[in-house]
Structures are given as C-alpha cells and as structure tokens.
Structure 1
Amino acid sequence: MKSTSPGGSPSAPVIFDPFVSVPGTDVLRDAAIVQDWPALRRHLEDARDADGLAFGVDVLAELPGLEVFLEKVLAEEPHDVLARTLLAARYVRIGWWVRGRGDADSVSGDQFEQFHSWLRRAEQILVDVCAERPDLAPAWTTRIMTARGLELGQAEARRRYTRLAVHHPHVLAAQEQLLQQLCPKWSGSWEIAMAFAREVAAAAPPGAPSGAVIATMYIERWLAESEADAPEIASPAARDELCAAGTRTAWASATSLGPYEVHVHSAFALAFSLGGHARDAAPHFRVLGNRTSSHVWSYLNDPSAAFWQFHSAALAAETGAT
C-alpha cells in the first residue's frame, strides 16, 4: 500500500462492501449465509452475462467460511460445476490471505508453502471444470490467478486468458488478473502491461467495463513509481487516454455497466485523482456518492480518508471552489 497523505474527515461512512453497494448482490450473500445452495446457484445462473457471473463468484469468494459450506455441498453433489468453481475461487482467496499483499521478500517460507498448497488445491479442481465447461468465465479467471501465484509464467497465464477469450473476449475480471501478471512486479514490463490494457480497451464495445483496465494500469504504474519520479499518471497524455477510456466505458449512451458500475467509476475516480486531474474525477465521484470498490482503494494506506480527500477535491474543482 502507498500513502497519499490524505487529509480531511469523512462526511459519511464509505461503503466498501459490494453486497451493500451493488444492487442485487445481497441475495447472493443471504443465500450463502443460510447455506441454501439451490438458491445461491440459481442467483448465480441468473447473471446477465459472463461478466456478471465472474463478479458474483468474485464477491462470494471473499466470504469467510464459505469453503466449509461448499465442501458439504460437494460431498452430496460432487459434479456440480458452479459449486466446484466457487470452492476453487475461495481456496485461492484463502491462499492469498495467507501469503499477504507484500512483495516476495516479505513472505516467509512457511507462508509460501501454505499459499502454494491452497492454489494447487484450486488448480486440481479447475483443470477438470475447464475441461467440462471451457466457456465458464470465473473458472478461467481463477486459473489466471493460480498461474500467477504458482509462478507458471506469462505464457501460461496468457494461454489461459486466450482460452477464455475464445468464448468471452471482454471479461473485466480476467483482464485485470492478467494485467497483474504482465506488470513488472510479476515478471512483466510496463510496455507489455500497457499494450495489453490498450488492446482490450480498444476491442471492447462501447459501455463494456473493459475500459477500466486503462485506469487500473495507470494506478499500478503510480504505485510502482518512486517518490522522486515524475508520475506518468499526471501527464497530459495519460489524462487524455483516461478521458477517452472513461467516455467509451462509463459514459456510453444507452448502456449499463451492471455489477461493475461501482468498480469502474472507482478506478477512474482514483486514477484521475492520483494524476491531479480532479475536475475529471468529479463525475465519477458523483455517481459513486459514498460507495466505492475495496479492490481499488485498498491500494492506499488509509482508503476511507483518501476517498473523502479526493472526493472533496474533485467536487470543489468541478464547481470552481477553492
């Protein structure tokens, strides 16, 4: 995490919980809490597209203890593809929690051993799932994560993404997972990461959430820059690219970002704010209100304070206030 020296006090609690901030996800949480698998499976299957299904699996996989429930489900229904996929996604989240979010030097040998053990358990499940259902977006998305964690290399991570893209070429969750692999921190380079982000953003239809990969890419670059660097995200070229991606993604007419609305606007709001483009961040903050994505703002050392600092600065810039 990186400091932004935030100041000011929040005017309301920031809502990071997607089960509260994203309409319709509360039914997923409620079904999981009461351990009603038929209802949970039905709600997942009701997702409007591959993006929606990937989102549902992603948020559910963060629920503590979900693996115990799913293991019971699979003891009775061992061939249930969605239950297996969700269990594997949960195993990966447990593994990453054990590893921690620091760089490799901060992870102990025992942490690595446990981390890899959880990822291998997930991989064993997903190999069979992907063979049975090669079109299942959350299964391939999770396998991109396991490829990174098990250090299988860029070529294997790209192969997995390509297998998904044959069926679903614009799944934001998968694109953001591969972007991580392509960044320097995971043996990639900024040239490779930026080329991929631009490729998928340009290929996506207007209104698809894939354009947020541009914002995520700039945020990642800002995180990696030293305090002495002139931040790339502050350049006029970066602002222009973010504006173009935001227009095509968040502001396309007659379209809906679905469950990714909060995540997409959060990514653009933060990217514009980090670059000092406060006025451009304002429309995104107005959509968000006091909602935001923990995936985006957890990059910062005090997410709530940073959110309100940037939120206030953006609205002030928009109205001309000082």
Structure 2
Amino acid sequence: MTTTSTTTDDDERPVALSEPVTDPFTTLPDLTPLRSAARAGDWQATKTFFTTLDPTENSVEKTSFASGQLAGLDGVETYLERAAADHPDDPLPRTLLAERYIRVGWAIRSRARAEHVSRDQFGQFHDWLRRAEQLLIDVCAEQPGNAAAWTARLLTARGLELGQTEARRRYDRLSAHHPHHFRAQSQLLQQVCPKWSGSWEAAHAFAQECVTAAPAGSHAGAVVAEAHIEHWADLEGVDQRTYMRSVSVRDELRAAARASVLHPDYAPGWSWIAADSAFALAFSIGGHAEDAAAHFVSLENRVNEYQWQYLPGWKAAFVKYRKSALATL
C-alpha cells in the first residue's frame, strides 16, 4: 500500500507510515528478552527479566504489563508449570502461570456476548479460571501488594461472575498499595459496564474517579476514553453515530488527554500505546481529527488493537483516520 510520512520530535527524518503494527514484542523492543526466554522455555532468563526491572513504582506497571504479554504466547504454560513445581516458594511462576491459564480460558470463551457462547465453552472457560484463581489466592496471601496477581484476580472475578462487590473489593485491595494502576483500572472498567451487570453511570463515574484521583501525567485519563468507547460500541444506529460527536464527550476526552498522555509530566511506561490508541480511536470516531492528530503522531505505526477491533476492517480504518488526523497538522 502507499505510505506517507511524519516527523518525530527526536529525529528530523520522516517516519514511513503504513499498516498498523500490533505485536507488543515488536512495538516495545524492551520486551524482546522476555519473548526469547519464553520461546526457549528458559525459566531463569524469564525470572531475570522480571527481577531486573527498574526498582521504582514504574516497575510495578511494567511487571503487570509484561505478565499479560507473556500470557499471550502459545504454549508457555508448559515451562511455567515446571517452574512453579520446581520453585514452590516463589510467587512469580505461579502468578505468570495463572495469567496464562486466564488467557487460555478467555480464548475459549471468545469476545462474544454471553448469548453467543456455548455451554461447553463456558464450562472450559470457568475451569481454566478456577485453576488460575487457586494459584492467585495463595500469591495474594503471600504478597498483598502484588499488582499483577490482584489485576489477574479482577479477570477471574469477572469471568466467574463473582459480582460487582467482590470485583471492587479486589481492586481496593490492590489500590491500597498501588492506587493508580492503569491495567487494573481498565479491567475494573470492564466489570462496571452493563455487559457485566454494571451501568453506564457506574462506568463513567469510575473513569472520572480514576483521572481525578491520579497525579497529572498518569495513564488514568485513558480510562475515560475507554469508557466512552465501550459506551459507543454498545449503541446502534443514530445513537452510535452521534454519541462521540457530542460536545460533552469531546470535552471530557480533551480534559482527560490533557491530564494524562498530553501532560508535560507524562511518564509513558509500557502502557502508552494502549493509552494513545484509546484516545486516537475515540477522537477519530467522533470526527475530531485535529484532536486525534497528537495521538497518531505518537503512535506512528503502533497500535493496541483491543478497542480498535470494534470497527469492521479496523486496520484500514486506522490508516484512514490517521491520514485524516495528520492532514490537520
């Protein structure tokens, strides 16, 4: 396909723009050693990757993020099961194994609405989540501040339909140690949406709670964009076409972006692609190309595909919206 180009602030050479790249191990090269370790079934190299992350609050976000990415690699449960058996006193292999079990279960269930998921799918799905939950209960007892484990338990709570109160309890246990953990916020947002027995009032209130409580420059503002995307995706016809175009939604998105990814104190970490992807999508489907531009400039060819998959032919849509946004610069 034909490519265009843009220029980054750090490099005056134009960057070729083509189809979006979704693989996090490509878009975030710092993750490459983790994939290499997983492909080799090398537990020691895997442990070294996690234990040598920078010893700051940012390492909590990175550990949780990387746990989720490792879980997406086919077959890693084999060597993680072996590591968990060989190192029964180490919570790390159990946490990573639980994340993998959850990913296997959700893949069986699929992203379909409940009415389109078979009884057999639900049975297998719940079985994998229960296996994960048993591992995570012990890990959280041993390490109450383990953000990756508590975040994973938000996924098991939702999938096992443990209810809003239990999901919030788990989130509160995590936030007592790490109050602005973006991955956990994104997971609880899913829980409080109507598709999981929540409400739009609860979803938007939680998103605003996240951005209001967080320090300026955190990822929390992206939760506002995610909430609006989820609301938009649940609508049909004229309501869907007009929702993102409303001035109130546009202004909420602008304020959230200024408080997070566009703030001078923004510290990107490894969740920045998900955050900018959410804003780029939300502004684009609302027809706010000029607002979307800064996010597409940051993303270039990179994208988190999770929300974008709500669009039919989303890769072509990404290219189209990016071209429109960059044309406003």
Short-chain TM bin: over 0.9
Match of 2:32 among 10, 26, 33: 26
| Pairwise CA distance, 1:241 | 1.0
1:147 aligns with 2:147: no
Task: State how 1:1-322 maps to structure 2 within 5 Å.
Answer: 12-47=18-53, 48-229=58-239, 231-316=242-327, 318-319=328-329
2:301 aligned counterpart, secondary structure: coil
Q: TM-score, normalised by structure 1?
A: 0.93
The Cα of 1:260 is off from its aligned counterpart by: 1.2
* Runs of 4+ off more than 3 Å: 8-11
Structure 2 residues without counterparts, runs of 5 or longer: 4-16
Partner of 2:6: none
Using the TM superposition, give the Cα deviation of residue 254 of structure 1 relative to its aligned residue in structure 2, in angstroms: 4.1
SS in 1 for 2:270: helix
8 Å CA contact 2:260, 2:266 repeated in 1: no
State the shift of 1:46 in Å: 3.1
Counting matched residue pairs gives 311
Residue deviations 1:189-231, cap 9 Å, x none?
Answer: 0000100000011111111111110010010011001113153
> For 2:198, what is the secondary structure of its paired residue?
coil
Bigger shift: 252-261 or 200-209?
252-261
Flag the 1:27–1:296 CA change in 2: closer, same or farther, 3 A: farther
Kept in 2, the 8 Å contact 1:157–1:178? The answer is: yes
- Following superposition, the deviation at residue 106 of structure 1 comes to 0.5
Q: Residue 165 of structure 1: CA displacement?
A: 0.4
**Is the Cα–Cα contact under 8 Å of residues 280 and 293 in structure 2 kept in the other structure?**
yes
Query: Which stretch shifts more, 296-305 or 205-214?
Result: 296-305
Over the residues paired in the alignment, what is the CA RMSD in angstroms?
Answer: 1.4
Give the stretch that moved more between structures: 214-223 or 75-84.
Answer: 75-84
| Cα pair 1:9 1:308 within 8 Å, conserved | no
Report the 3-state secondary structure (helix = DSSP H, G, I; strand = E; otherwise coil) of the residue aligned with 2:188: helix
Distance 1:9-1:306 versus aligned 2 partners, 3 A rule: farther
Shift of 1:9: 7.1
Higher relative contact order (CA 8 A, sep 6+): 1
One-letter amino acid of the structure 1 residue matched with residue 140 of structure 2: C
SS in 2 for 1:205: coil
Residue 124 of structure 1, CA deviation: 0.5
The residue type paired with residue 56 of structure 1 is A
Which whole-Å deviations, capped at 9, do the CAs of 1:64-117 have from their partners, x for residues lacking one?
111111011122112221110010011001000001111011011100000000
- What SS class does the counterpart of residue 207 from structure 1 fall into? coil
Shift of 1:298: 2.4
Q: Please say if residues 95 and 118 of structure 1, whose CA atoms lie closer than 8 Å, have aligned partners that are also in contact.
A: yes
The one-letter code matched in structure 2 to 1:75 is A
Identity %: 50
Partners of 1:235 and 1:216 in 2: CA distance: 16
Contact preservation (8 Å) 1:85, 1:126: yes
* 2:42–2:79 contact (8 Å) kept in structure 1: no
Quick one: distance in 2 between partners of 1:13 and 1:158? 38
